[in-house]
Amino acid sequence: MSTYVLYNGLSGNGTGKTKAEAINSFIGNKEPIYMDITSISDIRSFLTSLENDDSIYLCGGDGTLNHFINDTDGTDIAQPLYYFPTGSGNDFWNDLGKKIGDAPVKINEYLKDLPFVEVNGMKKRFINGIGYGIDGYCCEVGDQMREAGNEKIDYAGIAIKGLLFHYKPTNAEIDVDGQKFSYQKVWLAPSMNGRYYGGGMIATPAQDRLGKERLLSLLLFHGSGKIRTLAIFPSIFKGKHVNHKKVVEVKTGHRITVTFDRPVALQIDGETVLNVTTYTAYK
């Protein structure tokens, strides 16, 4: 019986291994085997080589989770798989109602039947949400800042500057399980598997990732000018934006397609995809 700690050394702005070592306080007298998950060339083969009574602790952020679910898609993970957050945003951890410093959580059930997104000829699973609109723009700008050497990225600040000066809303055509809708001046159009994304924004407060119907939630923030949008936007961090029903709607369904009238950036669990005019998310 062995205990493996798979960490992402790049998570948490390069502090992934140090943060992962905090797991020692939760696993008693076990002597864990630490492995940087980015150094494992074939994660599926690695997992199938383990004994059923081994245990796995996955340490990283939302991006680490996204890579893990896609790299292991189709693999039956027989071992108990625990998650311990060492990332920057940790939206999945927040969605579980946990705080930094809490004990690792077994997540096998959360990785079953995850939704797909199809965009720009690519098909991927996602665990939290698909951001489309100013949220995708924020990830695009954040990536540019990171490449320029900035270690701390203030996404809330990027969003505010984008709302005021740089980002222009789009018109959108929406299809939710065959029902079609049209919207003007769309600022946000994310499809969510969980409640949280973007490092703490509660985009869809009523979404249940383990709900019996396995629905996705589509948030639509639309029809408002810059000043009103800026006034409402901070309330998304408490999930109160949905009270502004004239400009905020949430639709639920199994298959959601969003098409904008110009290409913008999109994000999948925080990973940026550029020049997107349409995406389809489905369970």
Tell me how far apart the alpha carbons of residues 123 and 118 are, in angstroms, rounded to a whole number.
Answer: 4
pLDDT classification of 11: cutoffs 50, 70, 90 = confident
74 φ, ψ (degrees, to nearest 5) = 90, -5
Q: What is the mean pLDDT of the chain?
A: 94
pLDDT score, position 157:
86
In the chain, the domains with their CATH numbers are 3-111 (3.40.50.10330), 116-282 (2.60.200.40)
Beta bridge partners of 68: none
Distant-in-sequence, close-in-space partners of 142: CB < 8 Å, separation ≥ 6: 153, 155, 158
For residues 46-73, average pLDDT: 95
**Helix runs in the chain, H state only:** 11-14, 16-20, 43-48, 62-71, 91-95, 134-147, 155-161, 226-232
For residues 235-241, average pLDDT: 96
For residues 71-100, average pLDDT: 93
pLDDT score, position 128:
97
pLDDT score, position 28:
81
Task: Give 248-271 pLDDT, tens digit per residue.
Answer: 999 999 999 999 999 999 999 989
pLDDT score, position 15:
81
Let me know the angle formed at the C-alpha of 280 by 277 and 282, rounded to the nearest 5 degrees: 165
For residues 106-130, average pLDDT: 97
pLDDT score, position 246:
97
Strands 116-119 and 271-282, how do they pair? antiparallel
Handedness of CA 275, 201, 195, 217 (dihedral sign): negative
For residues 179-187, average pLDDT: 98
Please spell the DSSP secondary structure of 165-207, one letter per residue: II---EEEEEEETTEEEEEEEEEE--EESSSEETTTEES-TT-
Angstrom CA distances, 9 to 35, 86, 87, 149, 182, stand at 9, 9, 10, 18, 44
